[in-house]
Structure 1
Amino acid sequence: MIRIIIVDDHAVVRSGLKMLLNAQKDMEVIGEASEGDEAYQQVEDKAPQVVLMDLSMPHGKDGLSATSEIKKHFPDTHILILTMHDDEEYLFRGIELGASGCILKSAPHEELMKAIRQVSQGDAYLYPSATKRLMEDYMNKIKQGGQVDSYRSLTDREREVLALVAKGYANKDIAEKLIISVKTVEAHKARVMEKLQLKTRPELVEYAWKKGLIGYTR
């Protein structure tokens, strides 16, 4: 079961989402919150896999601040931002703060389910127009000679695999640790190497060390 906490300042919205999600065979809403501080406490107490995070909550801590705090102290919690506004400033900021994705409240129910399942597996999710704008932003940076941090392009799962490979874990050990197949580990590792443009394991270890993912040892 995918354990979910809903964060929204409207009780009617929370109630509707709870009914919708609990009707799914693989989902369970284990908590609700109306603002960011309450959301943090719910995450601390109940350890959800996914948090549906509203951005605009005027009567308490906002969604962006809550996202930052939760990801800082509970990095394994996946946050899917819920927003009414197709606003790229909030989208980019949310991703920078560690959110796994963003979806519009006006999206079809089927798309919301897809997004929740996707981020619960450690993958990222963006609605189509957001993906297009992120790609445009990326290309603009390239044209302007800016540097794009390839690490930001890795999914949460790929970052986990990167850190474990760099620490010396074998594929079988990583598979057991993350409860996935060896083939899936190999696929993640291949995508990491491709995204980071690395050729060898020593290069990967050096990269992970520079990123602070492992301690430096000889």
Structure 2
Amino acid sequence: MKSFLIADDHEAVRSGLRAVLEQRADWEVVAEANDGSKALTAAIENRPHVAIVDFSMPRMTGVEVARRIREYPLQTEVLIFTVHNSGLLAQQAFEAGARAFLAKSDANKLLLAAVDSLLVHKRFCTESCRNELNGGPGGDADGHRGLTPREQLVVKLVAEGYSNKGISAILNLSVKTTEAHRAAAMRKLDVNSTAGLVRYAVRARLVEA
């Protein structure tokens, strides 16, 4: 029997994932959590084969949960589940020790494939995610002009219309830290407005035009 942990702060998402997973007779959801701290506790207590963890949760992000699971260490494989289909987020997830990254929009068609990969300890990432991780066709050849991965992600979220407060909630940062990343990105890109950041994000293919 393969065991699973589902961590997401929305009950409807957890219920949907449970329904999909338990279509397999030998798969069982042994724990659920609605924040990152509870997710880590549940992983330690239940030692599931796979933990499906939302990127953005209260008290601890999915990436931090993945990092802490690796530090223990547990044999649990981690899938980061997110509304943001971003190579930058995927990079953070993989660096933290997660082995799969999946956008919620792809869950209906790819969740089972992602889990099957994890159960044989293979990385899973969608084609669009891999393209972004590899720079993508037409990607910014000079490494995004000196932006750090976190600055790139802040610029991407700015271009998607998020406020500093919204970005802080997604990345589990203080608003002051988010503002510092945004200011550093503007300085490096030599722009002085949100519109300038958006133009850069489109040009560098951090977002679609």
| Cα separation, 2, equivalents of 1:26 and 1:128 | 29
Equivalent residue, structure 2, for 1:105: 104
Contact 2:88 2:133 in 1 (8 A): no
**Residues paired across the two proteins, number:** 142
Deviation, 1:136, is 2.8
Deviation, 1:28, is 1.1
- CA-to-partner distance for each residue in 1:108-145, whole Å, 9 max, x for gaps? 524100100111111100011011222337xx9x998x
| Cα separation, 1, equivalents of 2:4 and 2:102 | 16
* TM-score, normalisation: structure 2: 0.62
**What is the 5 A alignment of 1:35-46?**
35-46=35-46
Deviation, 1:25, is 2.3
Runs in 1 of length 4+ with deviation above 6 angstroms? Answer: none
Question: Does residue 56 of structure 2 align to residue 28 of structure 1?
Answer: no
| Cα separation, 1, equivalents of 2:48 and 2:17 | 16
| Cα separation, 1, equivalents of 2:129 and 2:67 | 20
* TM-score, normalisation: structure 1: 0.60
One-letter amino acid of the counterpart of residue 77, structure 1 = T
One-letter amino acid of the counterpart of residue 53, structure 1 = V
Question: Does residue 119 of structure 2 align to residue 120 of structure 1?
Answer: yes
Change (3 A) 1:118 1:6: same
| Cα separation, 2, equivalents of 1:132 and 1:75 | 30
| Cα separation, 2, equivalents of 1:108 and 1:16 | 10
Equivalent residue, structure 2, for 1:88: 87
| Cα separation, 1, equivalents of 2:42 and 2:135 | 37
One-letter amino acid of the counterpart of residue 135, structure 1 = N
One-letter amino acid of the counterpart of residue 26, structure 2 = D
Deviation, 1:81, is 0.7
- CA-to-partner distance for each residue in 1:172-194, whole Å, 9 max, x for gaps? xxxxxxxxxxxxxxxxxxxxxxx
Change (3 A) 1:14 1:132: same
Equivalent residue, structure 2, for 1:64: 63
**What is the 5 A alignment of 1:120-199?**
120-136=119-135
| Cα separation, 2, equivalents of 1:50 and 1:108 | 16
- CA-to-partner distance for each residue in 1:65-119, whole Å, 9 max, x for gaps? 1111111113421001101011222111110011001011111524100100111
| Cα separation, 2, equivalents of 1:73 and 1:79 | 14
Structure 1 residues not aligned, in runs of 5+: 145-218
| Cα separation, 2, equivalents of 1:108 and 1:99 | 17
Change (3 A) 1:26 1:131: farther
